[in-house]
Amino acid sequence: MKYIQLCEVYENLQNNSSRLKKTEILAEFLEKLKEEKNKQVVYLLQGKVFPDNSEKEFGISEQLCIKALAKSSGISKEKLVDDWKKMGDLGEVAQKTIDKKKQNTLFTKTLTTQKVIDNLKRLPELEGRGTVDKKLALISELLTSAKGLEAKYIIRTLLNNLRIGVASGTLRDAIVQAAFKPKTIKEKKELMEIVQDSYDKATDLALVLEKAYKGIPALKNTKLIPGKAIKAMLAQKAVSVEDGLNKVGRPAIFEYKYDGFRMMINKSESGEIKIFTRHLDDVTLQFPDVVEYIKDHIKLKSFIIDSEAIGYDPKTKKYTPFEAISQRIKRKHNIHELIKKLPIEVNVFDLIYYNGKSLLDEPFEKRTKILREMIKPQKYKIRLAHQLITSDRKKAEKFYKEALKDNQEGVMIKNLGARYQPGLRVGHMLKLKPAENELDLVITGAEYGKGKRVGNFASFILSCFNEKTNQFVEIGKSSGLKEKSETGPTFEQLTKLLKPYVLKEKGRIAQIKPKIVVTILYQNIQRSPTYKSGYGLRFPRIIAIRPDRKPKSIANLKEIDHDYKRHELKIHY
């Protein structure tokens, strides 16, 4: 298939905001794939070249795209950066640049979707010396053959930002439409469930599309395969124990919400153990200790369990916050040394696959019961999530307090009868944790936005005051302001306020004189080598501009230090 055909579909999708219309456009396109042997083009519709269960990423920066564009168009990098600043979208810069160049050249090759897939697929595999040059060559090759519109979408795909507004649900609806053309709403609903179920097990839309064209039995025959990553079920929020009970129903299962990172642990039918993160990254190599725990404590042929790994201090045996063990996820060398320094305990809370059988559709009550029978727990290695089944608000509140006292984040509140729904933020599993903290800080830097935020600042560097050196020192970066002013400031308001204080600009980054004080909410404070203050705020959000406050009266380093220690204490005692 010609790549330009797909780019026209992208454009069409971008220009139509209604979900119904998008489904129609997609379905029409998917029908063209019916006879194509290779259904991977569907990945391109998701802005990828790999299925969702693959962890592979392009790893391409905006700088590299600019280099590739400069190489294939002959336009200087400076000019491209300048255009980018004005237009806010490198894809559009690419389109304009290539279109201009093509007016002067006659000969171009026709780009096919297969060629795009082939080149992009090679990107994550490149390693070692000369990687950047090889990546550059692969991208430039595509851009050289591309028309303007094609260049726009090559760049957007590389930067993981297609901006065509297609959610995975819409793609699934389109598969139903393309393969079955349902006549009634009931029929459509049933088919959507079948397609969804097939996707939940396969986590691969090309495979689902292939099965859909074969028919309903093929879809229903999709197998959950331990050893292949599936998406984790995600939680919605509860504001109190009462709220949680009302939402999930009584009795509910309360569990500790452990402050660590998610581990989906698989044992395949061949006996191989694999560990995936919540983002479906394979981290088995980083956790040989966990592989050993699994071998020692679960004597089953095959399974998929869902769990949270938490760190503890090897000397004091006290549990540590997530930040302390985060480096274990990435570290691929000297692992055994790190295991001794940063040991972890796995807290298991769900069972998805058990001895050759998917448990996705079984009620949570049953899954947790089997789970509790199949593991031989041992403190500091592998344990079952601490649990309470109750309808009694008071008992649940006591349990919640105990969770906090035991250094954990809060509790999860789960419906007894619910299925395991991969990849969705479900209303039958809720998280409850204490309210966030508040601080006054000053803005000392900002970054210009892209897309509809072009011209406005879109993220803000926050600083506190170091009373010893009399300087403002960075402590975090906040984005996520409102587009419109309902609650709190907007991007536009803040940009207007900050502009007169811009000291220097480099690329998209502006350095700003410390004048504008804001109140922020944050989740917690961690030690951080990135910021000059030595601390980093987790999830800071600007909630108010404070013209009534002077920069020097904002939070100082001593107070931050105090807050950090208090948080640590809260976690340890």
Q: Residue 383, interface with ligand AMP (CB under 6 A)?
A: no
Single residue of 258, 319, 491, 535 touching ligand AMP by CB under 6 A: 258
Task: Report the alpha-carbon distance of residue 533 to residue 561 in Å, rounded.
Answer: 10
Q: Residue 278, interface with ligand AMP (CB under 6 A)?
A: yes
Q: Residue 257, interface with ligand AMP (CB under 6 A)?
A: yes
Burial track 160-179 (b if 16+ CB lie within 10 A, e otherwise): eebbbebeeebbbbbbbbbb
Q: Which of 231, 257, 433, 450 is catalytic?
A: 257
Look up 257 and say whether it is catalytic.
yes
Nearest alpha-carbon partner for 119 in 127, 109, 111? 111
Nearest alpha-carbon partner for 424 in 255, 237, 236? 236
Find all residues with CB under 8 Å of 135, minimum gap 6, and list them: 60, 64, 123, 126
Single residue of 139, 151, 396, 412 touching ligand AMP by CB under 6 A: 412
Residues 49-108 that bind ligand AMP (CB under 6 A): none
User: CB of residue 408 vs ligand AMP: minimum separation in angstroms?
Assistant: 8
User: CB of residue 112 vs ligand AMP: minimum separation in angstroms?
Assistant: 40
Task: Report the alpha-carbon distance of residue 361 to residue 421 in Å, rounded.
Answer: 8
Residues 181-240 that bind ligand AMP (CB under 6 A): 235
Task: Report the alpha-carbon distance of residue 140 to residue 64 in Å, rounded.
Answer: 10
SS3 264: strand
User: CB of residue 414 vs ligand AMP: minimum separation in angstroms?
Assistant: 7
Q: Which stretch binds ligand AMP (CB under 6 A): 93-101, 254-262, 393-401, 495-503?
A: 254-262
458 by Cβ neighbours in 10 Å (0-12 / 13-18 / 19+) ranks as buried
Tell me whether residue 80 or residue 352 sits nearer to ligand AMP (CB atom). 352
* H or E element in which residue 198 lies: helix 185-202
Residues 296-355 that bind ligand AMP (CB under 6 A): 308, 349
Tell me whether residue 3 or residue 261 sits nearer to ligand AMP (CB atom). 261
Find all residues with CB under 8 Å of 499, minimum gap 6, and list them: none
Q: Which stretch binds ligand AMP (CB under 6 A): 47-55, 255-263, 389-397, 455-463?
A: 255-263
Find all residues with CB under 8 Å of 452, minimum gap 6, and list them: 483
User: CB of residue 232 vs ligand AMP: minimum separation in angstroms?
Assistant: 6
SS3 content of the chain, % helix, strand, coil (to 5): 45, 25, 35
Which pair of tokens denotes residue 137?
């060559």
Q: Residue 123, interface with ligand AMP (CB under 6 A)?
A: no
Tell me whether residue 70 or residue 432 sits nearer to ligand AMP (CB atom). 432
Please tell me the count of residues contacting ligand AMP according to CB under 6 A.
Answer: 12
Single residue of 115, 121, 262, 515 touching ligand AMP by CB under 6 A: 262
User: CB of residue 342 vs ligand AMP: minimum separation in angstroms?
Assistant: 18
As annotated, the active-site residues are 257
Which residues in this chain contact ligand AMP in the complex, by CB under 6 A? 235, 255-258, 262, 278, 308, 349, 385, 412, 431
